[in-house]
A and B are shown apart, each in its own frame.
Chain A
Amino acid sequence: MRRALRSWLVGSAILLLGPLSSRAQDPLEYTVKAAYLTKFVPFINWPEQQLAAGAPITICIVGEDPFGLSLDKAAAAAGAGGRPLVIRRIATTDTAETQILARCQIAYAGDPLTSLDVIDALKGKPVVTVTDSGMRARGVISFVMQDNHVRFDIDDAAAEKSGIHFSSKLLELARAVNRRSENP
C-alpha cells in the first residue's frame, strides 16, 4: 500500500517538480527530502553543551535508507556554517545504538515502527527527530505532502523540551507548527 502510494507520489513529483532536479535516476520526492534534511541545518540551533564549536553536524538515518546517494550529494552541496556535515546510517535502535543515536543532531526514521522507537529513545534529548510523511508517528519535524509538494510540520513544543531552537524563518515555512509555550 505504502509502496503504491509512494510510486504514485513519485510519479506526480516527476510531473510537478521535474524542473527542480536534473537527476532523473533518483526518486524525486526523496531527493527533495534528502536536500531538505541538509537544508534544515543552518536554521536549527542546538544547545552549546551538546555541540562544541566547529564539531561536525551528524545526520543519522535509522533503519531503511530511502535516499541513497542523493543524501550524500545534498550534504556535500549544503553549508552548515563552517561545520562539516556527516551522514551516519544506523540499522536498528538497539540499546547500544541508542548511545550513538543520542550523539546525532538530526535523526531520520523512515518506517513507522522505527520512528516510534527513535522518538521514544530521543524524547527530551537535543536531537531533531525527522519522520516521513504518511505516518502517525511524528518527530520534531515531520514531512508532509501537500499538492504534490514536499512540506513539513514542526513540533516546536517538543523542540523546546529538548533545548532546540528553530529559526523563525524555518518556522514560517512550515505548513503547521505546534507552538511552544508562550512563556518559556
Chain B
Amino acid sequence: MRRRVGWPMIVALLAAAFLLTAGIAIARYEDQLYSTQQIRDVTEQAQILAASVSAAVSFGDRAAAEEYVNALKVNPELRAAGVYDGSGKLFARFFRGSTLPAAMALSSTNWDALTSEGTLTVKVPVSAGGKTIGAVSVIATTEPAQRRLARYIGLILLVTMGALVIAVLGFSQAAISNRAEQLAQVNARLKQEMDERQKTEEALRQSHKMEAIGQLSGGIAHDFNNLIMIAKGSLGLLRKRLGPEILQPRAEQYLVSADEALDRAAALTRRILAFSRRQPLSAQAVHLGGVIADMNALIKHSVGEGVKIETVLAARWQTLCDVSQMENVILNLAINARDAMPDGGVLTIETRDVSLASAPPSVAEFVPGDYVALSVRDTGVGMSEEVLQRAFDPFFTTKPLGKGTGLGLSMTFGYVRQSNGYLAISSVPNKGTAITIYMPRIPESDT
C-alpha cells in the first residue's frame, strides 16, 4: 500500500522546523546581545577609569593612578588594565593573564573595542581640559564558545524536545487520519458493492420470475393453441357437413360467435406465447427509425388529439427484428403512454445508437456491446415503486377492468428478450414514465 504523507505530518514538520529555527535564532540573538552588552560594560569601565585618572595622569601621580587601576581588580572578567601617560608610556597597570603593551601611540590609536581569541581589548582616551593627555586600555575575558553554548544547552534541549513532541504527534495524527481515510474508502466500496449486489439480485429474481411465468404460461398457451385449432377445425368441418340449407340463419349465428371466440382465444394465446418467447419470429435487418416513420399515422390515430407526439430518430445502426412484432410493441407502448396521460401531454419516441459497457438500470444478465435504443416517454402520471416492480408481470394491470389484458408490457418484455435485447423502465410519479428497448446492433454487411 502506498504510504501517504498527510497534511498533519507536513504541518508538524513545518512547526518543528520553525521551532528549531526560532530557538537557534533566539540563542544567536542572545549571544550577540551578550557580546555587545559586554563591550558596552567594559567600555564603560574603561571610561570611568579614564575619567578618574585624568588628574593623576595630568600631574604624573603614579600611586594615585595605580590605586584607580587596582580598583578594577575586583572584576574577575578583567585580565589587565593600564593607564598610559601623555607620551604614550605605560604609567600604571595590573596584569592577570594578559599583558599590556609598554607603550601606545596616542595620535594613531584606534579607540574601538577589539575582540580576539577570548579577549576583548578596549582603549579610551584620557582627557583634561579638552585635550587628550593619555589613554586607558582594559582587557577583558570573553566567555569561550563552549561556555556560551552550555548556557543555551537548556534552551536547545527544550526546543528540541518540543520539536520532537510535535513531530511525533504529527506522525501519529497523520497515521490515524490515513487509517481513518482508508477505512472510510473501504467502507464506501463495501456499501457500493452491497447496493450493486442487491440490485443485481433483484433484477435476477425478476428475470427468473419472468422466466418461470413464461415457461408455465407458454406451455399452457401452446397446448391451448392446439386445442383451439382442433375446435376451430371441427367447427369448420361441422359447417361444411351441415351445409347452408340445414344451417338455419339462427344456428349459423351460433357458429359465427363460437368462431369469433376461438379467434380471440387464439389471439390471447399468441400474446402469451410472445411473452414466453415461444412465438415464431421472422426477423430481418431494419432501421428502427424506418419502422417508426412508417407507422406514424397509426400512432397518431391511436393516441388521439390530446397528446403531442415528438419523434427523434437519431439511430444509424441496424438491428435484427420481426417488424410486425416491433410494430405491435411500439403501438402497445404508445397506447400505454396515452393511458398514462388522460389530460394530454407529450409522447416522445426516440431512437439512438449506444455502446453499453454495463447493464442499464433494472437489467440483469447483460452482454456489453453496441445497441440501438428505442425510448418511449410520456409526461403522464408515472408509476409507484410497487407498480414498477410488477410492471412486466403478465396479467398485471392498473387499467380498469375490461380495458387492458395486462399482457402489453409482458409481451413486449418477452419479445425483446427473445430478440436478445433488453428492456429498461424508469418512472417518476406525476412526472412520467420512460421505457427503453435496447436491440442488439447487427453489422451493415448483413443486409
Binding site for B on A (CB under 8 A): 20, 36, 39, 41-43, 78-82, 167, 169-170, 172-173
Contact = CB atoms under 8 A, between A and B. Distances in A.
A42 B59 CA distance: 12
B47 interface: no
The listed residue with most A CB atoms (<10 A of its CB), out of B58, B61, B128, B133, is B58
A117 B127 CA distance: 35
Contacts, number: 41
A169 B130 contact: no
The 5 closest A-B pairs by CB, nearest first: A79-B131, A42-B129, A79-B129, A169-B55, A42-B128
A39 B56 CA distance: 11
B128 A43 contact: yes
A120 to B, nearest CB: 28
Given A169-B52, A169-B54, A172-B64, A41 B129 contact: yes
A43 B55 contact: yes
Given A79-B131, A80-B129, 9 more contacts: A36-B59, A39-B59, A42-B130, A79-B127, A79-B128, A79-B129, A81-B129, A173-B55, A173-B61
A82 B64 contact: no
B360 interface: no
B126 to A, nearest CB: 11
Contacts of A167: 55
A173 B131 contact: no
A70 to B, nearest CB: 16
Interface in B141-173: none
B342 interface: no
B67 to A, nearest CB: 9
A169 B127 CA distance: 13
Contacts of B61: 173
Interface in B51-72: 52, 54-56, 58-61, 64
A170 B82 CA distance: 20
Nearest to A38: B129
Nearest to A78: B129
A77 to B, nearest CB: 8
A78 B132 CA distance: 10
B131 A170 contact: no
Contacts of A172: 55-56, 64
Contacts of B55: 43, 167, 169-170, 172-173
Contacts of A39: 58-59, 128
Prevailing SS type, chain B contact patch = mixed
A93 to B, nearest CB: 28
12 contacts: A36-B59, A41-B129, A42-B130, A43-B55, A43-B58, A78-B129, A79-B129, A80-B130, A169-B55, A169-B56, A173-B55, A173-B56
The listed residue with most A CB atoms (<10 A of its CB), out of B54, B64, B129, B131, is B129
Contacts of A82: 130
A130 B219 CA distance: 156
B60 A20 contact: yes
Contacts of B60: 20
A165 B61 CA distance: 21
Contact of B59 (A41, A80, A81, A173): A173
A172 B71 CA distance: 15
Nearest to A19: B89
A167 B60 CA distance: 16
B64 A173 contact: yes
A173 B54 CA distance: 11
A169 B131 CA distance: 17
A170 B64 CA distance: 10
B388 to A, nearest CB: 114
A82 to B, nearest CB: 6
A20 B58 CA distance: 12
Contacts of A78: 129, 131
Contacts of A36: 59
A43 B59 CA distance: 11
Interface in B118-132: 127-131
Nearest to A42: B129
A78 B128 CA distance: 9
Contacts of B130: 42, 79-82
A75 to B, nearest CB: 11
Nearest to A20: B60
A167 B58 CA distance: 13
